[in-house]
Structure 1
Amino acid sequence: MGSKLSGKDLIKLGFPKNNAINIALGQISRYRKKEKKESVLKEAKGVLLEPSKYIGDGIWGKLAEGLIDPVEVSFQQLRNTRAPYSIFGENEIEEEAKMQLYSALKLPVALAGALMPDAHAGYGLPIGGVLATENAVIPYGVGVDIGCRMSLSVFDLPSTFIKGRESQLMGILSDHTKFGLNETQKIKTDHEIFSRKEFNEIPILQQNLDKAYKQLGSSGGGNHFVEFGIVRFSQNELISMDTEKEYLAILSHSGSRGLGANIAKHYTYLAKKQCPLPKNVQHLAWLNLDTHDGQEYWAAMNLAGDYAKACHDDIHRRISKALGKKSILKIENHHNFAWKETVNGKECIVHRKGATPAAKGALGIIPGSMTAPGFIVVGKGNKESLESASHGAGRLFSRGVCKESFTQNQLANVLKKHDVSLIGGSIDESPMAYKDINKVMSLQQDLVEVIGTFSPKIVRMDR
Structure 2
Amino acid sequence: MGKKLSGKDLIKLGFPKNNSINITLGQINRYHKRKKKNQILAEAKEVLLNPAQYKEDGVWGKIAESLLDPVVVKKQQLNPVRAPFHIFGENEIEPQAIYQLYDALKLPVSVAGALMPDAHSGYGLPIGGVLATKNAVIPYGVGVDIGCRMCLTVYPIPISYLEGKKQQWSNFLAEHTKFGMRETHAIKHDHPIFEREEFKTIPLVKRLKDKAYKQLGTSGGGNHFVEFGKVSITDTQNEWGLDPGDYVGILSHSGSRGLGAQIAKHYTYLASKQCPLPQKVQHLAWLDLNTHDGQEYWLAMNLAGDYAKACHDDIHARLSKLIGSKPLVTIENHHNFAWKQEVNGQECIVHRKGATPAAKGELGIIPGSMTAPGYIVHGLGNERSLNSASHGAGRLLSRRKCKETLTHSAFKKQLEVHGVSLIGGGIDEAPMAYKDITKVMANQQNLVEVIGSFTPKLVRMDH
TM range (shorter): over 0.9
Residues in 2 aligned to 1:302 and 1:60: alpha-carbon distance in whole angstroms? 22
Given that residues 142 and 352 in structure 1 are in contact (C-alpha distance below 8 angstroms), is that contact kept between their aligned partners in structure 2?
yes
What residue in structure 2 maps to residue 325 of structure 1? 325
What is the one-letter code of the residue matched to 1:131? L
User: Which residue pairs with 1:149 in the alignment?
Assistant: 149
The residue number in structure 2 matching 1:176 is 176
> Which ranges of structure 1 fall in alignment gaps of 5 or more residues?
none
Which whole-Å CA distance do the structure 2 matches of 1:97 and 1:306 have between them? 29
Specify the alignment match of 1:306 in structure 2: 306
Rate the CA distance shift 1:179–1:285 in 2: closer, same or farther, 3 A.
Answer: same
Q: For residue 228 of structure 1, what is the aligned residue in structure 2? A: 228
1:202 corresponds to 2:202: yes
RMSD (CA atoms):
1.2
Give the C-alpha shift of residue 239 in structure 1.
2.7
Is 1:354 the counterpart of 2:354? The answer is: yes
Give the corresponding residue for 2:394: 394
Who is 1:441 aligned against?
Answer: 441
Aligned-residue sequence identity (percent) comes to 69
Q: Are the equivalent residues in 2 in contact too, given 1:54–1:61 (CA < 8 A)?
A: yes
Relative to structure 1, is the Cα distance of residues 239 and 289 closer, same or farther in structure 2, using a 3 angstrom cutoff?
A: same
Amino acid at match of 2:103: S
Where does residue 454 of structure 2 map in the other structure? Answer: 454
1:364 matched to 2:347? The reply is no
8 Å CA contact 1:232, 1:243 repeated in 2: no
Partners of 1:344 and 1:244 in 2: CA distance: 38
SS in 2 for 1:252: strand
Q: Which deviates more, 235-244 or 313-322?
A: 235-244
- C-alpha distance in 1 between matches for 2:411 and 2:275: 45
The list of structure 1 runs, each at least 4 consecutive aligned residues, that deviate by more than 4 angstroms after superposition, is: 241-244
Letter in 2 for 1:114: A
Are 1:126 and 2:109 an aligned pair? no
Please tell me the residue identity of whatever aligns with 2:359.
A
Q: Which deviates more from structure 2 when the two are superposed, residues 17-26 or residues 362-371?
A: 17-26
- After superposition, the C-alpha distances for 1:180-205 in whole angstroms (9 at most, x for unaligned) are 00001111011010001110000111
- Partners of 1:411 and 1:430 within 8 A in 2: yes
Change (3 A) 1:228 1:282: same
User: How does the TM-score come out when normalised to structure 2?
Assistant: 0.98
Aligned equivalent of 1:5 = 5
Retained in 1: the 8 A contact 2:235–2:244? no
Q: Supply the AA of the counterpart residue of 1:76.
A: Q
Please say if 1:53 is aligned against 2:56. no
Question: Residues 156-175 of structure 1: CA distance to partner in whole angstroms, max 9, x if unpaired?
Answer: 00110112211011011112
In structure 2, relative to structure 1, the CA distance for the partners of 1:2 and 1:456 (3 Å cut) is farther
Quick check: 2:71–2:291 contact (8 Å CA) kept in 1? no
Please list the CA deviations of residues 116-141 of structure 1 after superposition, one character each: whole Å capped at 9, or x if unmatched: 00001111111000000000100001
When residues 6 and 359 of structure 1 are mapped into structure 2, their CA distance, relative to the original with a 3 A threshold, is same
- Contact 2:15–2:21 under 8 Å retained in 1: yes
Residue by residue over 1:238-289, the C-alpha shift from the partner in whole angstroms, topping out at 9 and shown as x without a partner, is 4345454210000000000000000000101111111111111111011111
Where does the alignment leave 5 or more consecutive residues of structure 2 unmatched? none
Contact 1:19 1:72 in 2 (8 A): no
Letter of the 1:440 counterpart? V
Task: Give the Cα–Cα distance (whole angstroms) in 1 for the partners of residues 225 and 69 of structure 2.
Answer: 47
Measured against aligned partners, the alpha-carbon deviations of 1:311-358 in whole angstroms (never above 9, x if no partner) come to 000000000000000010110000000000001111110000000000
Secondary structure at 2:157's aligned position in 1?
A: strand
* Cα distance in 2 between the residues matched to 1:121 and 1:13: 50
Aligned to 1:88: 88
**Residue 397 of structure 1: SS of its match in structure 2?**
coil
Query: In 2, distance between residues paired with 1:254 and 1:160?
Result: 28
Partner of 2:418: 418
Q: Which deviations, in whole Å up to 9, do the C-alpha atoms of 1:299-318 show, x marking residues without a partner? A: 00001000000000000000
1:26 is matched with 26
For residue 79 of structure 1, give the secondary structure of its aligned residue in structure 2: coil
- Residue deviations 1:82-111 (CA, integer Å, cap 9, x gap): 000000011111111111111110111000
Distance 2:2 2:30 in 1: 16
SS of 2:67 mapped into structure 1: helix
Alignment of 1:222-261 (within 5 A): 222-261=222-261
TM-score by length of 1: 0.98
Which amino acid in 2 is paired with 1:264? A
Contact kept? 1:366, 1:374, Cα under 8 Å: yes
Q: Does the 8 Å CA contact 2:97/2:122 hold for their aligned counterparts?
A: yes
Distance verdict in 2 for CA 1:267–1:160, change over 3 Å = same
Aligned AA for 2:72? E
1:2 is displaced (CA, Å) by 7.4
> Which amino acid is 2:43 matched to?
E
User: Are the aligned partners of 2:236 and 2:243 in contact in 1 as well (CA < 8 Å)?
Assistant: no
User: Residue 44 of structure 1: CA displacement?
Assistant: 1.3
- Size of the aligned set, in residue pairs, is 463
Q: CA deviation at 1:233?
A: 1.1
Q: Which amino acid aligns with 2:137?
A: V
The offset of 1:37, in angstroms, is: 2.0
When structure 1 is superposed on structure 2, of 303-312 and 40-49 the one drifting more is 40-49
Find the aligned partners of 1:72 and 1:24 in 2 and give their Cα distance.
16
Give me the whole-angstrom Cα distance separating, in 1, the residues matched to 2:130 and 2:244.
Answer: 37
Deviates most, 11-20 or 393-402 = 11-20
1:142 partner letter: V
Secondary structure, aligned partner of 1:58: coil
Q: CA deviation at 1:236?
A: 4.8
